[in-house]
Amino acid sequence: METVTAQEKSDKSSQQSAKKTQFNVNKTSCSDRVNSLLRYLLVKTVDLLLFLVLFLFVLAPLTVKLFPGMGKHFIYLNGLSLPSYFQDLSNPASFGLNSTKNFYLSTDKNVVIGAWHTLPKQLEGDGYKHEEYESLLARTKHPILLYCHGNAFTRSTSHRVALYKLLASLGFHVISFDYRGYGDSSGTPTFEDGLVTDAVTLYLWLREKAGPDVPMYVWGHSLGTGIATKAVRFLTEQRKEYPKALFLESPFNNIFDAAMLHPFSKIFGLLWWFDDLFLDAMHTYGIYLQNDVHILHIELPVLIMHAEDDHVIPIELGLKLYNASKTRPKSFPPVIFHKFSKERGFQHKYIYSAQELPNILGNFLKGIN
């Protein structure tokens, strides 16, 4: 048997004590680091909260008062777009539109807008050159549809391109464009009348090229419903020019109600300065987009389409517009409201994917012709 001396026992005991001490030191050091991290996170969280309070209750309202024009950027969102490096709007084929010509049109002083002309699908295989597209507006007698897009991004956005393709398959010449300050169009969107001028000028240019007998239609989506509705009112009242019909996809009754019910407003709407952000912009730049007023003066058939699960412009605003239209003179053509159930999942911008949409449009057009 091995004999353990007293010295060996003492050394072993010392080693165990040292290990225990080292463990306690490490445990204390780890605990200190955790406490230090928690204190750091607490300080940073307090700093962030203080900054948010300072921003929301001091800096933001002060900025709104000093720069009332800021509100228009929240309405138009024209700055929200991919840099030109990533998209070549002069080449529609790069967005999947092969029978489409890019062109530019001067609509106002120092304003040139970019636009696309997509041929009816029935003409795709005929080998027409871009130089012939203008003459085809009159020669082929296919109807022409002017599309006014919503805020943010450009005429190349995927859901817009998908709708062009659908409308072209139904036999329309589809003319899409970017308002001033959007995409590759020059100028800046300020007063709503500037954007309306872009739409009106393009429409009249198309009428000049097509001649008086080719049927023309106007389609507006989201913010574009405000542009389209006011443009059509101007055309009918001031120029005695009557499109065959007006299509309104995901419309609102007026821009203020649309802004107040926007998801962004649900977050910041309780702040006292938030209303001023839009009210100041509306009064400063005349941005009212009162569809519920203009529709009363448009002696045209109107088709309103809205999805129940639209969270950007709730269907209740589309219904308010529809109800307002019921006060139009009895002699005016009908306003039709078509609702898409929330189970379909079309939300704000996917109505184009409804399989029954061609039939909806076809039945509407049959009813007015």
Q: Cα–Cα distance between 369 and 363 in angstroms, integer?
A: 10
Q: Does residue 328 contact residue 296 with C-beta atoms inside 8 Å?
A: yes
- Catalytic (active site) residue 310: yes
Q: How far apart are CA 347 and CA 341, in angstroms?
A: 10
Amino acid at 250: S
**Residue 69, φ and ψ in degrees, nearest 5:** -75, -10
Catalytic residue among 117, 262, 294, 348: 348
Question: Considering Cα of 152, then 158, then 164, then 167, what sign does the dihedral take?
Answer: negative
Catalytic residue among 176, 185, 222, 325: 222
Query: What values do phi and psi take at 306, rounded to 5?
Result: -150, 140
| Residue 212, C-beta contacts closer than 8 angstroms, at least 6 positions apart | none
To the query of whether residue 348 is one of the catalytic residues in this protein, the response is: yes
CA 101 – CA 117 distance, rounded (Å): 5
* Catalytic hit among 178, 280, 292, 310: 310
Residue 219 neighbours by CB distance under 10 Å: 25
Torsion, Cα 205 303 167 187, to 10 degrees, reads 40
Is there a catalytic annotation at residue 309? no
Kindly list the catalytic residues. 222, 310, 348
